[in-house]
Amino acid sequence: MSEAQEAPRMPDECGVPDPMPYMHPAMIKNYGAWDWHDRPQVGVLHHVAKSGDEVWTIKAGTQRQMDVYTIRNLCDIADEFADGHVRFTTRSNIEYTVSDEAKVQPLIDKLEGEGFPVGGTGNSVSMISHTQGWLHCDIPGTDASGVVKSLMDAMYHEFKHEEMPNRVKITTSCCQINCGGQGDIAINIQHTKPPIINHDLVANMCERPAVVARCPVAAIRPALVNGKPTLEVDEKKCICCGACFPPCPPMQINDPEHSKLAIWVGGKHSSTRSKPSFHKLVVAGIPNSAPRWPEATEVVLKILYAYKEGGRPWERMNEWIDRIGWPRFFEVTGLPFTKFHIEDWRGGRNALNASSHVHL
Amino acid sequence: MATKKLETPLLDQLESGPWPSFVTGLKKLADDEGKSYSPIMKSLLGQLEHSYETRKGFWKGGTVGVRGYGAGIIPRFSEVADKFPESSEFHTMRVMPPAGMHYNTKVLRELCDVWEEYGSGLIALHGQSGDIMMQGISSANVQPAFDAFNEMGFDLGGAGAGVRTSMSCVGAARCEQSCYDEAKAMRMVINNMLDDMHRPSLPYKFKAKFSGCANDCVNASHRSDFAVLGTWKDDIKVDQEEIKVKVAELGRKGFNDQVVNMCPTRALSLNDDDTLEIDNQSCVKCMHCINVCTKAMSVGDEKGVTILIGGKRTLKIGDLMGTVMVPFHKMDTEEDYEWLVELSENVLEFFADNALEHERTGEMIERIGLVNFLEGVGVDVDPNMVAHPRTSSYVRMDDWDEEVAKWNERKGTAAAE
């Protein structure tokens, strides 16, 4: 035994790393001094700096959840073809930047040859932003990674071509917390049954007042079952949102049969043209069909191709629908309009049509 | 000892098709005999296949951390560890990437080496908050893995009721539309909040995100409590000769349809000689015409930021979009960046002191009203903060004259500048 134990290592709270040591030299040199850009081909951005310097950025799709071999392979490609630098986009695409135009095509060929599709630029369908799912999350209703793989297989052409009216950002989420975010199309879990409660475990595992406070509709109340303190749910009030499940795992919300997928459209983060907007419900009750989710894929493609067909240049999904109107949206997509499409949450009246503007 | 061949008929179906398959990667790690992660990943694949069979997840949280920090590790313990024991502990480490997610291959390889030694060999680039998600590590290995990452200059990100990992767009590094130094602003703001990230004790999570213009490539407007968006105050820059080139390319009808008529404030008009007239005072800096005419049009010189407050997703009162709290602040000098840091600090402090448990910034503002929030953080009201003034007459306005005097005083100060 050592006499004087070494003091334990304490963290160096270094925070967000400085990107400069990792950045491509042409980006460092022209930082904040770019002039214009264009897109010479799908998957390639061409930026020209005020200094006259030019760079070409090649964007490729990845599976996001990557093994070290895949990452090292992407590094090998960067070392051989792209000056040893990469960056990632918020949608898990990888970007290689080169300052020599002659390097563009060999890099594209190499990436495609290694199975990484080049695309995702301009008015294409980019990679779906998504969450963890069954691989790692503690509350997942589905496996976003599998849904995404299935959908991206089906939309592969649309990733590699710029044929959409505007960019299409798609998201998936494994619960109604919606970690995937707003999307032109969003594929999210929607539970349809109240939680099934294991009353023997609630007292030990859950901070009951916090669980009661978390319910958006005040449907949870303290109860005594078999002499044990627990929680019960007013099933008439319950909206099956699953908010009680994360802080109280014995309130199981996930159900192989009754946890369904719902599809939403018209979410938009940017303030470009129209103000940012939330996505709106269009379809629910889609079965959670692992491992390939064919029913969800079919609906997504139906919406996507209706937009591709009917959208005018630069209209995002929400802007296309604003122009043609919801009646026409449901008509051209062949999707049903039900009482569930009418908002009854707080502020819901703002979602009603307070005018004589009707589409006939 | 040879482990028996794992059957994953459901997951195998995710290996077909042209998009890169995460399942193929998982299997490669599982089959990497001799590596410490191989048995873990065999077991993990077994559990994932079990999830695909039962359509249920089998992870539960817990308490795992590193010395000195109260966040940054997402503990995951298997609920089916009896069936899949080697992956019974499969925690995630959230590691903050360099701002803008730039890497050189040397540092990426070093990250892989550490994760190969201590973890599962599985890395998600990146999580929805912007973290490098190091997925799958045992409780015992968390500290040495963190020490190795930390020695490389990497730090853990946020989790729980604290400041979360942030994101900034590519911005000034490679985009002419960038209106401020996004990476610098992000690092200054976030690195000033590390105590509330590493030792979370806020009412609930707090997110800040940084986009260089209204295109908002990191989705700040809705996905952050404190959204910093680049903008500018002077005129859009136009190269009229390049406009003519664009008109020739799209045709007059095309140019009118795709550029002029899509302006949200009708600020554009194509002249008879194919030059473009711009009503700059009506322009809201939405970026559309600049996006379409990348060579002919560009952002102005008097650059700065607009700050939105209170964006968040559903839980608990419903979705909230961030709304304007600072219409414009120039971002030229070091003092401007320090102003931003101070403002973010005031907002965070007000949130910490005034939000209820599990209440986000936007929900707090919904409860107390924007005016009380603004007074708390020392920001004056501005007509840019509203879509329109109030429509309800049910309000007491006893001190109307005092408020008018304040407005006039501010107008006077602005005019004198």
Q: Ramachandran region of residue A44, left (φ > 0), alpha (ψ -120 to 50) or beta?
A: beta
Q: Please enumerate in sequence order all residues whose Cβ is within 8 A of that of A267, keeping only pairs 6 or more positions apart, or say none.
A: A169, A171, A181, A182, A183, A184, A186, A277, A278, A279, A318
- Pairing verdict, β B297-298 and B237-238: antiparallel
Q: Within 10 Å of residue B399's Cβ, how many Cβ atoms?
A: 10
| Closest of B21, B49, A62 to residue B41, by C-alpha | B49
Q: How far apart are CA B198 and CA B194, in angstroms?
A: 6
pLDDT at residue number B22: 97
Rounded to a whole number of angstroms, the distance from the CA of A219 to the nearest CA of chain B is 13
pLDDT at residue number B3: 53
Cβ of residue B56 closer than 8 Å to a chain A Cβ: yes
Across residues A38-48, what is the average pLDDT? 98
pLDDT at residue number B416: 81
Are A67 and B121 within 8 A, CB to CB?
yes
Residue B316, preceding peptide bond in cis (omega within 30° of 0)? yes
At residue A36, does pLDDT exceed 70? yes
| Closest of B135, B45, B14 to residue A152, by C-alpha | B14
pLDDT at residue number B194: 98
Cβ of residue A177 closer than 8 Å to a chain B Cβ: yes
Instruction: Select from B10, B11, B22 the residue whose CB has the most chain A CBs within 10 Å, as the one to mutate to test that interface.
Output: B22
pLDDT at residue number A4: 59
A118-130 per-position pLDDT tens digit: 999 999 999 999 9
Find chain A residues with C-beta within 8 A of B116's C-beta.
Answer: 68
Strand intervals (E) in B73-140: 73-74, 77-78, 92-95, 102-104, 119-125, 132-137
Per-residue pLDDT of chain B (417 residues; tens, 9 = 90+): 445 668 999 999 999 999 999 999 999 999 999 999 999 999 999 999 999 999 999 999 999 999 999 999 999 999 999 999 999 999 999 999 999 999 999 999 999 999 999 999 999 999 999 999 999 999 999 999 999 999 999 999 999 999 999 999 999 999 999 999 999 999 999 999 999 999 999 999 999 999 999 999 999 999 999 999 999 999 999 999 999 999 999 999 999 999 999 999 999 999 999 999 999 999 999 999 999 999 999 999 999 999 999 999 888 888 999 999 999 999 999 999 999 999 999 999 999 999 999 999 999 999 999 999 999 999 999 999 999 999 999 999 999 999 999 999 999 988 887
Cβ of residue A63 closer than 8 Å to a chain B Cβ: yes
Dihedral sign (CA A319, A324, A330, A332)? negative
A167-214 per-position pLDDT tens digit: 999 999 999 888 888 999 999 999 999 999 999 999 999 999 999 999
A-B Cβ pairs (cutoff 8 Å, strict): 349
Tokens matching residue A89: 């986009």
A321-358 per-position pLDDT tens digit: 999 999 999 999 999 999 999 999 988 999 999 999 99
At residue A242, does pLDDT exceed 70? yes
| Closest of B161, B166, B165, B164 to residue B202, by C-alpha | B161
Find chain A residues with C-beta within 8 A of B144's C-beta.
Answer: none
Q: How far apart are CA B271 and CA B250, in angstroms?
A: 15
Mean of all residue pLDDT scores within chain A: 96
Find chain A residues with C-beta within 8 A of B219's C-beta.
Answer: 90, 181-182, 269
| Closest of A340, A32, A137, A79 to residue B100, by C-alpha | A32
ipTM for this model: 0.96
A130-175 per-position pLDDT tens digit: 988 999 999 999 999 999 999 999 999 999 999 999 999 999 999 9
A51 band by pLDDT with thresholds 50, 70 and 90: very high
Q: How far apart are CA B20 and CA A66, in angstroms?
A: 10
pLDDT at residue number B2: 44
Q: Is the pTM of this model over 0.95?
A: yes
Q: Which amino acid is at A77?
A: I
The phi and psi torsions of A327 (rounded to 5 degrees) equal -55, -45
**Measured between CB atoms, which of B100, B126, B284 is closest to A19?**
B100
Instruction: Select from B21, B92, B105 the residue whose CB has the most chain A CBs within 10 Å, as the one to mutate to test that interface.
Output: B105
pLDDT at residue number A176: 87
**Measured between CB atoms, which of A70, A88, A269 is closest to B216?**
A269
A67-106 per-position pLDDT tens digit: 999 999 999 999 999 999 999 999 999 999 999 999 999 9
Across residues A101-112, what is the average pLDDT? 98
Residue A267 CA to its chain's centroid (Å): 11
CA A102-A104-A107 angle, 5° bins: 120
DSSP H or E stretch at residue B280 = none
pLDDT at residue number A346: 86
137-176 of B, contacting A, C-beta below 8 A: 146-147, 150, 153-156, 166-167, 170, 172-176
Tokens 């302006």 belong to residue: B263
Helix, strand, or coil (residue A80)? helix
- Specify the DSSP class assigned to residue A200: H
Are B112 and A68 within 8 A, CB to CB?
yes
Find chain A residues with C-beta within 8 A of B314's C-beta.
Answer: 176-178, 241
Rounded to a whole number of angstroms, the distance from the CA of A315 to the nearest CA of chain B is 9
Find chain B residues with C-beta within 8 A of A314's C-beta.
Answer: 258, 262, 288, 292
Q: How far apart are CA B184 and CA B190, in angstroms?
A: 10
DSSP H or E stretch at residue A40 = strand A34-41
Give the residue, B107 or A7, on which the prediction is more confident: B107
Helix, strand, or coil (residue A283)? strand
